[in-house]
Every structure is written in structure tokens, then in C-alpha cells.
Structure 1
Amino acid sequence: MPAFRPFPAPGVSHPVPMPDGSVHEGTVFLSAVIDHPRFEVGYYTYASAHHPPEDWAAYLAPYLYPFSPEKLTIGRFCQIASGVEFITASANHRYDGISTFPFAVFGGGPVEGRPSMPSPGADTCVGHDVWIGTGARILPGARIGSGAIIGAGAVVSGEVAPYTIVAGNPARPVRRRFAPETIERLLEIAWWEWPIDRILAHEAAICGGDLSALEHAARH
């Protein structure tokens, strides 16, 4: 019988052990490694990178600055593959006039209130248990519902409904993972809010296809 290995705490930076006793440097629980005033991430959400960065916040969201007006919020138990990038609103240029050039960035007076700077953009929000595939790009102000799957290389803007699979550039819905009434019941259960011991005890129901079993687990 294989030795029992306890589930890592959300404060563990590198939660995947290797056979030689080392850890997989390219996989991290983001809540343990993100220290950024505009970047919020829930417990057990992990990200992977083929070449681990020193600064995971800058790697994932290179235009999100400590002084940015917008926020990036990611829920619990999300899975973020290598090469994913969140292009947040501070990357925007003004494009409602004649020129898009950001004159204020290069000088000639204070930045605040300059006509070449765009207005503050919307926050980018990702729900719980979202899988974002390799090389996907999440554009400013995107809102991704819980349980969604973002295909590899997809370019996502706007809103992705819960438990919807999207793919392509621009990303388009491929299909809903479940019927609307099932999605409503899953969002009501919200298993990601349970304590981790309870989640592990009902792993089969959470990862399986028996909604009745999961609802039974939610009640007990």
C-alpha cells in the first residue's frame, strides 16, 4: 500500500513533491507566492511554468502595477497552465481619439489628468475551479465564471458563463459542460467553500458525474 501523503496547506509555495524528495519548482500555490496589492487569489489555486519566474505576479499579469487602479481577482482551486497571461487594464491606450500614443508616459508634465491617458479600466475576475489552458490570454475586464474551461491559446474578453468551455481567438463558446439546471445546482453547492478535509472526503463526488451524490455530501 502506498504511503499516505497529507494534502499540502495553501500556504505551501511548491505543493508538488518529486520522487527524489525535491519539489516541482514550476508549480506553485499562488496564494503563497503572490504579494501584490492589486492581485487577489484564492486558496489552492495553482499556476505552472516551464521556466519558473522569480516574480509570479509579474509573470502572470505584467501590466498590473502596484499603483494600477484595476484589480485582478482569481478564485479558489483554479488551474493555470504555463504561458497564460492576464493583460489587465493598465496595458490599455486611449483609442477613442486620433492618436493612441501615450505622451504622458514619456514626460512633458504630470501623468495625472493628461489627455493621452485612458480612463481607468475594469477589474478582471476569475471564478472558482477554472481551468485556463496553455498560452491563453485573458484581456482587460474579462469575467470568467466558476467551472469554466479556457482552451489553450484562447484570447478571452467579455464574460464567460459558469461551466462553459471556450476556445479560439477571439474565444467563442464551444459548449456548456452541463445543463443550465445542473449548473445552477453546482453553483448553489459551491464545494470550493468547504474545508479541505471535507473536500478530500468527497473527492469522488466532486470529480465524478453523480450530482445527487454531491448534493448528498453537501447536506451531510
Structure 2
Amino acid sequence: MPLLDATAIHPITLPDGTIYRDTVYLKNVIDHPRMEIGEFSYFTHSGKLEDTAQILAPYLGHGCRERLIIGKFAQIARGCYFITSSANHPMSGFTTYPFRIFKPETFGYKDLPVKDTVVGHDVWIGHNAAIMPGVTIGHGAIIGANAVVARDVPAYTVVGGNPARLIRMRYPDEVIAELLALAWWDWPVEKIEANLTALEASDLAGLRRA
């Protein structure tokens, strides 16, 4: 029996056979015109399934201009959320109070710049992390618990703190370059599962042979 089922809503079954219902595959529970989510990316929360999009990105309304893009195999812990561009207030004047949102004909501050928020493949976002507007998180990055990510995060880096800062690189530059070229997350799931030992052991030679 394969470990991964791309069609699952709740992908985790505990050893006693109980389905763990707090963790969901995002792609299978979110239908939102401004969200693009890859297979096997999961989020853990205690809300209703139909509220998942709002819990994850509370300010990304259907009429917003920006997008939230999440790659494959992202791991998003409980309490994480994305503050997307439409949550920004005007900052060029003497006040930041969003007067115009209180009338339908002026709602939205169409002149404010917006930028997509992008999460790469195989990104781990720790408990209660906040991702700020327009941030890009590179493949394989790790975001520490309670981090506030206000700047782009390069691939395969570990960041933490408020504001989030570089803690360390996960691998040397040449290894990162090869991992990005291999792009294991694009392999068929059968090939991924056949090479789990190499993935879990950081066996680059084994991945080359796959």
C-alpha cells in the first residue's frame, strides 16, 4: 500500500487506525480563485474544512488581485498564516487608516501595489509562523516556529525569529544546486516512495541513481 494518496482529505492515519482529522491536504479542501496549491502540501488546524482558506490566509478575499502560491509537499504547522498584500494599509500619507474600505465604490485601494506570496516545494513552516505580504520562500527552506517572515527566503535555508533571519544553510551551495536540478518533488509518487531511503538519509548519490 502506498504511503501517499493524492486524493485524501485527511492524509494521516494513526497506528490504531484512527484518522487524524486536524491535518488536511490543502489542494483537496480549498477551492479559491486566488490560491494555487500543489499536491501533498498539508496544513494542520482545528477549524472546519470549509474555513481552511480563511484560516490560512485571512485577508485573501476572492476580489483580491494578488495570489497565494504553495508548491508540492509543503508542511504547514498549526497556527501559521499568510498576511497577503491586500491586508496592507496606505502608508504614503499622514494617516494609515483605511478610510476607503468602508464604502463599496472605493473599496480595495486599487492604486496600492500588490505582489504574490510564493512558497516553494518541500518547505516546512513551523508552529505559529507568520508570512508577510509578497514574500517568496525557496524550495526546501525551513521556517522556525513563531517566525515572522518579512523578506524572501533562499532555497534550503533555515530562518527564525522576528523578523526572521538566516540561522544556517542546510547544505553547501553545490549540493543545493544539484537538489534543485534533481527536483525530486516532480517525480512520480511511485519513484519518490521507491527512493525514500535516499531522501531521508541525504544520500545524494542514491538520488543520482534514481
Whether TM-score is above 0.5 comes out as yes
- Deviation, structure 1 residue 208: 1.1
Matched, 1:87 2:80: no
> Structure 1, residues 166-205: CA drift from partner, whole Å, max 9, x if none?
0000000001000011100000000000010100000011
Q: Which residue of 1 aligns with 2:105?
A: 110
Q: Do the aligned partners of 1:94 and 1:118 also contact (CA within 8 Å) in 2? A: no
Structure 2: distance between partners of 1:203 and 1:21:
23
Match of 1:60 among 56, 63, 87: 56
Q: What SS class does the counterpart of residue 110 from structure 1 fall into?
A: helix
Structure 1: distance between partners of 2:55 and 2:48:
7
Q: Do the aligned partners of 1:93 and 1:118 also contact (CA within 8 Å) in 2? A: no
Matched, 1:17 2:4: no
Identity of aligned residues (%): 48
Q: Which residue of 2 aligns with 1:160?
A: 153
Structure 2: distance between partners of 1:112 and 1:135:
30
> Structure 1, residues 46-74: CA drift from partner, whole Å, max 9, x if none?
1112x233311101000001111000000
Matched, 1:41 2:37: yes
May I ask how many residue pairs the two structures share in their alignment? Answer: 209
Q: Do the aligned partners of 2:101 and 2:108 also contact (CA within 8 Å) in 1? A: no
TM-score by length of 1: 0.90
Structure 1: distance between partners of 2:202 and 2:129:
27
Q: Which residue of 2 aligns with 1:171?
A: 164
Q: What SS class does the counterpart of residue 177 from structure 2 fall into?
A: helix
Structure 2: distance between partners of 1:205 and 1:27:
26
Q: Do the aligned partners of 1:40 and 1:73 also contact (CA within 8 Å) in 2? A: yes
TM-score by length of 2: 0.94
Q: What SS class does the counterpart of residue 105 from structure 2 fall into?
A: coil
- Deviation, structure 1 residue 125: 0.2
Stretches of structure 1 lacking an aligned partner (at least 5 in a row) = none
Matched, 1:97 2:90: no
Q: Which residue of 2 aligns with 1:74?
A: 70
Q: Which residue of 1 aligns with 2:178?
A: 185
* Structure 1 residues 62 and 113: CA distance shift in structure 2, 3 A: closer
Structure 1: distance between partners of 2:16 and 2:202:
35
Stretches of structure 2 lacking an aligned partner (at least 5 in a row) = none
- Structure with bigger gyration radius: 1
Structure 1: distance between partners of 2:114 and 2:94:
20
- Deviation, structure 1 residue 19: 4.3
* Structure 1 residues 113 and 172: CA distance shift in structure 2, 3 A: closer
Q: What SS class does the counterpart of residue 64 from structure 1 fall into?
A: coil
Question: Once superposed, what is the RMSD of the aligned Cα atoms?
Answer: 1.6
Structure 2: distance between partners of 1:39 and 1:129:
18
One-letter code aligned to 1:89: S
- Deviation, structure 1 residue 112: 5.8
Structure 2: distance between partners of 1:26 and 1:203:
25
Q: Which residue of 1 aligns with 2:132?
A: 139
Structure 2: distance between partners of 1:113 and 1:84:
25
